Structure 1
Amino acid sequence: MIVLFCSLAGALAVISGQLFSLQVYRYAELAEAAKQQSLRRVPSVSRRGTIYDRNGRELAISLGASSIFAQPSQVENPRQTAAVLSAALNLPAGKILEQLQTGKSFAWIKRLVSPEEAEAVARLKLKGIESNTESKRFYPKQQQAAHLLGFVGMDDRGLEGLELQYDAYLAGKSKLILRQQDAKRRPIFREDAGEAQGSDLYLTIDEVVQYIAERELEAAVTQSGALSGSAIVMDPFSGEILALANYPTFDPNAYAEAPAFARRNRAVADYYEPGSAFKVIVGAGALEERLVRPEDRFSGEGGAIE
């Protein structure tokens, strides 16, 4: 009985000492370690503002899309993981393996994947491979007003056109939010991101007029055998631009596949020598100053006047 009592008392003393060390002496250190493991700051998804024409028709919208990333330290078999991800994401296995062997705590595998690819990765249930929702820009009219709208890059920032010009307004405010996760890094709760949506942009462009201008411009360039062409339709009373077209054009949904020649917005970027086109400006000024009347006639002198 005495031996049993002493053994139990000794064991209880050891346990009590360990509990004192964990709960009192090392409390601050372990609480901080637990916080680092269970709490994580992740970027909030800020939906980019929509771009509309003058009648409220959508020209550029943002959709939610999944992006696949890895936490290399948690991947158990990098080669096998790279092989199965290669089939699911249509990426070279060697490229994925490089990302898994970087030694970093975070690495993108593929961003803004299709719903089918995201579902295929989710079914694999690979340790250390997760997904996050990001904003993907989509242009429902495809090539229409492409040079005017421009496009955004992989990080959802404007690179050309109005997307770049008004990026500060369209992009919204990005912030880091707190997410608590369990031992398998599954989210338990997520802090509210608050108001992070970008501002919408309404243009003076009329979608119908824009479509007609682009159609007729393409026909004129093709018929004349020109390399390119530009057309601008303006309201003469307000100065508002109703259409701005260039040919050749491109699809901003796949801007990386378009050559720089097709992406150039010649209507605003290229110099244009007035020549005979300026005669209408001179004529309008003469009429406005009442120096001539609409019925007045002038001799062209055979095309040259000294």
Structure 2
Amino acid sequence: MIEPDHIKHAYQGPREAEQQRLARRFGQRRRLLGAALVLAFLSVTTSAFYRQVVETDFLQDEGAKRFLRDRQIPARRGIIMDRNHQPLAISTSVATIWADPQLLIDRSDALESLARALEEPTEELTAKVQAYAAKGRRYMYLQRRVEPHRARAVEDVVETYRLNGIGMETEYRRFYPGGEIFGQVVGFTNIDDQGQEGIELVANSQLKAKPGKRRVIQDGHRRIVEEVEQLQAPDHGEDILLSIDQRLQFMAYRELKRAVEEHKAVGGSATLLDVTTGEILALVNQPSFNPNQPRKESAEDRRNRALTDVFEPGSTIKPFVVAAALERGVVRAHTPISTSPGVLQVGRNRVRDYRNLGQLDTTSVITKSSNVGVVKIAQQMDRAVLWQLYRQLGFGQISAVGFPGERTGYLPHFESWSNFEHATLAFGYGLNVTTLQLAQAYATIATEGIRRPATLLRRDSIPPGERVFTPETAQAVRLMLETVVSTDGTARRAAIPGYRVAGKTGTAKKAGQGGYVDGKYQSVFVGMAPVTNPRFVMVVMIDEPGGKEYYGGAVAAPTFARVMPAALRLYNVAPDDPKHPLILTSSTEGTP
């Protein structure tokens, strides 16, 4: 049935009205959405403009703070070498292991394995990580300058447990190829590569390195993502060439150690000097220490006794008294001197020889090491003469080597000497010297009376010196000292086949709090070779030999006789007495 039109229009009216109303609402929504989109676009554009233009520097700085870092470029500390460029102290690259404690604190499952790789107790590592984490730290050293096998073990742990916040940096670690043989000469450095003892300390300003700087981008786990630029190139330390000859140092150390052990001594020292240049070719001590090992040795073992320990030189001082007398015409080589009855009264005190040596001459006073004879010679000279001579020889003064802890020794001023002190200072009591000082003094006799400064650094030229004796006096004293190494002298065991050797023994009692101690001696031998044109002087001092023998000729002279031939051969010094026999007989020497 067809509806009438008025009824149809009645049904359509409300529907069209609703459609029109909906259409109007849709238009409003579209306009509102468009406005919102425009507003959002404007907001984003404004924000981007603000950040890109207005806040550029601030945001770049904030980003750099999080990801841009300045890292050090490791620099190598200078190499210490012997005179022949053999390394005595070198720096090798090693790994330093660091961690972010905030990322490690929750990985208790891996800490035990990590501690095992680092070769330290788990409890200590855990406590260290917890302590740093509690302070809010984001960086800590796990271990510095580790051995390669530890670094590889840590890498394995990191890979196995997928640890974040652990990394490695390259640093340099000091290594000493000569170990204990050079320990007291070269010294050692601390964990920050700063010299603490020996040449490492003396020349620290030359040897130390200045690390460079580089700028890198790193991620949140402190891993380097990109190298940006080098800010400063690393400045490696300066290399240093010592005067020491590694070959002679080894020989001298071996023989000194043998002597100390054989005679059950508490210690000893030896110095070998090239008299032409003043260079120290060997400087050894007992006991010693290995600078490659962790610092567990005592300060006593680290002490360079040849420079820091003083002793009374005993009879080794007598040749200088004779030299002063020869210079002033007081005596000649064969001037007769009576030492009978073996005792000399000086004020209320007495000077004694080990036995009545009877009638001697100046030369045999040295040969037999007569205390009475040398005191009679000294009494013919003013006290100031002897004191001035000792000063010129370097006694009571610091040497030029500049070694840390070096002692000046002790030489009292002549104005305070009593008559008996004048006497005792003539046979080596009442003053203190170091092994190096004694070697320098004897080098003056070897170099025709010229005293040159000693050095631990290699020299390529002969330094100027100060004249102490005339060449004639020096030559005369050398000939006297040669008789000491003859069958008539106190140092028969110092003889070297093929070479003429001159030297002097000394055996002095050690002083204690209450005076000189019975049974405690310091045994010394000083020798030079070859007599015709001396090249080397060597001093050997054995401290408190505990065996039956304690005289310098029996305890110290054999060490000289074993080391000096090696020096003469290595430096191609021609023999000056091919027919000279090797004296193998042993006998008891006099008081040297």
Q: Same fold (TM over 0.5)?
A: yes
CA distance in 2, matches of 1:60, 1:212: 19
Letter in structure 2 aligned against 1:37: R
- Structure 1 pair 300/48, CA: closer, same or farther in 2 (3 Å)? farther
Q: CA deviation at 1:93?
A: 2.4
- Structure 1 pair 177/283, CA: closer, same or farther in 2 (3 Å)? farther
Of the three residues 267, 278, 282, the one matched with 1:239 is 278
The equivalent residue for 1:216 is 255
Q: CA deviation at 1:293?
A: 6.1
**8 A contact 1:67–1:113 mirrored in 2:** yes
Letter in structure 2 aligned against 1:77: D
Aligned Cα root-mean-square deviation (Å): 2.6
- Structure 1 pair 59/280, CA: closer, same or farther in 2 (3 Å)? farther
CA distance in 1, matches of 2:248, 2:322: 27
**8 A contact 2:213–2:230 mirrored in 1:** no
- Taking structure 1 as the reference length, what is the TM-score of the superposition? 0.88
User: What are the equivalent positions in structure 2 for 1:5-84 lying under 5 Å apart?
Assistant: 5-6=34-35, 8-75=37-104, 77-84=106-113
CA distance in 2, matches of 1:233, 1:39: 57
The equivalent residue for 1:96 is 125
Q: CA deviation at 1:275?
A: 1.4
CA distance in 1, matches of 2:114, 2:210: 33
The equivalent residue for 1:276 is 315
CA distance in 2, matches of 1:284, 1:174: 56
CA distance in 2, matches of 1:30, 1:270: 65
- Structure 1 pair 73/285, CA: closer, same or farther in 2 (3 Å)? farther
Gap runs ≥5 in structure 2: 1-25, 343-352, 354-370, 377-592
CA distance in 1, matches of 2:54, 2:263: 86
**8 A contact 2:211–2:234 mirrored in 1:** no
Matched, 1:228 2:261: no
**8 A contact 1:78–1:100 mirrored in 2:** no
Letter in structure 1 aligned against 2:119: N
Gap runs ≥5 in structure 1: none
CA distance in 2, matches of 1:148, 1:245: 8
Of the three residues 182, 204, 211, the one matched with 1:145 is 182
The equivalent residue for 2:144 is 111
**Structure 2 SS opposite 1:152:** coil
Letter in structure 2 aligned against 1:111: R
The equivalent residue for 2:536 is none
The equivalent residue for 2:487 is none
Structure of higher RCO (CA pairs closer than 8 Å, 6+ residues apart):
1
**Structure 2 SS opposite 1:252:** coil
Letter in structure 2 aligned against 1:251: N
**Structure 1 SS opposite 2:318:** helix
**8 A contact 1:40–1:180 mirrored in 2:** yes
**8 A contact 2:267–2:286 mirrored in 1:** yes
Structure index of larger Rg: 2
- Structure 1 pair 141/298, CA: closer, same or farther in 2 (3 Å)? farther
- Structure 1 pair 224/300, CA: closer, same or farther in 2 (3 Å)? farther
Of the three residues 216, 230, 242, the one matched with 1:191 is 230
**8 A contact 2:283–2:306 mirrored in 1:** yes
- Structure 1 pair 9/57, CA: closer, same or farther in 2 (3 Å)? same
- Structure 1 pair 131/111, CA: closer, same or farther in 2 (3 Å)? same
**8 A contact 1:78–1:97 mirrored in 2:** no
**Over residues 59-100 of structure 1, what are the superposed CA-to-partner deviations in whole Å (9 max), with x where a residue is unaligned?**
111100111112224446253453332021112223223332
**8 A contact 2:186–2:199 mirrored in 1:** yes
CA distance in 1, matches of 2:324, 2:284: 27
**8 A contact 1:82–1:94 mirrored in 2:** no
**Structure 2 SS opposite 1:251:** coil
Q: CA deviation at 1:18?
A: 3.6
**8 A contact 1:246–1:266 mirrored in 2:** yes
